[in-house]
Amino acid sequence: MIALTLAEIAAVVGGELRVAREDTAETVVDGIVDTDSRMMEPGSIFVAKPGAETDGHRFVGAAVEAGAVLAIVEHVVDVPVSQIVVPDSVASLGDLAREVVARVRAGGGLRIVGITGSNGKTTTKNFLARILEDEGETVAPVRSFNNEVGAPVTMLRVTHGTRFLVSEFGAAAPGSIAHLAGLVTPDVAVVLMVGMAHAGGFGGIEATATAKAELVAAAKSSGTAVLNVDDSRVSAMQELARSRGMRVVGFGQGTAADVRAHDVQVTASGTTCEIESAGERMPLRLQVLGAHHITNALAAIAAAGVLGVPLADAVARLETVEIAERWRMQPLGGDRVRIINDAYNASPDSMAAALRTLAQITGPDERTVAVLGAMSELGESAGEEHDRIGLLAVRLNIQRIVVVGPEARRLYLAAVGEGSWDSEAVHLPDQDAAFEYLRTELRDGDRVLVKSSNSVGLRHLGDRLGELFS
């Protein structure tokens, strides 16, 4: 974080300052800011966040032992450290992020990109960060830090030397993206897609589209909307962007795209296509598996182009990316049995894309095995969407369908109903049972996809299988 005095921080968050030790109101703090006491280091600021399972106030002492010099709390804690008492510590985290980013931006050198979409946010963020880091100091979230805590924590990492801030915005509820994007008012708003992910929490896909459009509405009116014109709901956001005076750059594979992919090919070693932008054409060879990641690459290239990065540089840097992120189409195992661990998250769209990738990269003498768990947060559509994935797996001729957990049983029943008989489809109660089954069932030449929502935890099964067959 940039250097601020304790008095300045208290004023920003609207809290009561209680100094301790040898501190005064003019004591300067410039360390990292986090809600996790384990992340503290000398000079840090610890934000005590209440939670459903535990309370951050219990860890103020541990944070101080690790080096924290200031705690933002909702009540005074009996620990010898300066404290700022606020009504809502999470809201204060956002207030502090807004002020810090505004001060850095006032220097004129900071450009901000916001990214949202039902799928692909983290991969696109990683792609764009890789492109921009060679241009100058770039701050981007670790993992999927895209909520009311993770997004501000990332924003607070900016310094006066930061050239680019890449923010990822998730939507826990209507208004979430508007709030988070409103903290920084992005120069570039990237919307990837509108799908069924989290649709249950919004009341349907049209409400999800409205939530994603909040990013366009919150961006600078002099900024640029980078939109997936292959997705009709995202493409419709062009009207909103232009009504606000924003420039629009479209990406996709259709003729309406300004940044376009041609001839997409998927193999076991990666994904290739030809990129067309502003009259230039050049090949892109991604090491990352899956045709759906071409969409994410196009978004990153388009956003980078808005920020002045030449196409050739963007492509060259993307080609160095080995995996999108841990547990996202991550290759594991060895030559005998290859595991694709894609179980960090799952929606109907990403599940279908992963299954298609599995089918595309498996040779005629190899066997496809899909280890599938439940997709979360689909609301009333959950049953229908699990049915659809079960049907798709059979129609793609996935030769072994291993369904894990009671919440995914309907996927299994749909696969059986579609004709996956004679142990081609099995249903197992949990990942331990699945591991015991797979350790004897898998054989040389198998190509195995492990896919589920994060809450199901199949990413850990994928890791175990990867270690077993490495």
Name the binding residues for ATP.
Answer: 117-123
Q: Are 377 and 200 in contact (CB under 8 A)?
A: yes
The residues facing 267 across adjacent strands are: 270
Closest CA to 168 of 121, 100, 226, 133: 121
d(CA 289, CA 295): 12
Provide the pairing of β-strand 259-267 with 270-277.
Answer: antiparallel
Instruction: Show binding-site residues.
Output: 117-123
Residue type, 169: F
d(CA 64, CA 44): 9
Q: Are 309 and 135 in contact (CB under 8 A)?
A: yes
CB-count burial class (<10 Å; 0-12, 13-18, 19+) for 50: middle
d(CA 348, CA 96): 37
| Number of CB atoms found within 10 A of residue 440's CB | 7
Q: What share of the chain is helix, strand, coil (3-state, %, to 5)?
A: 40, 20, 40
d(CA 155, CA 129): 14
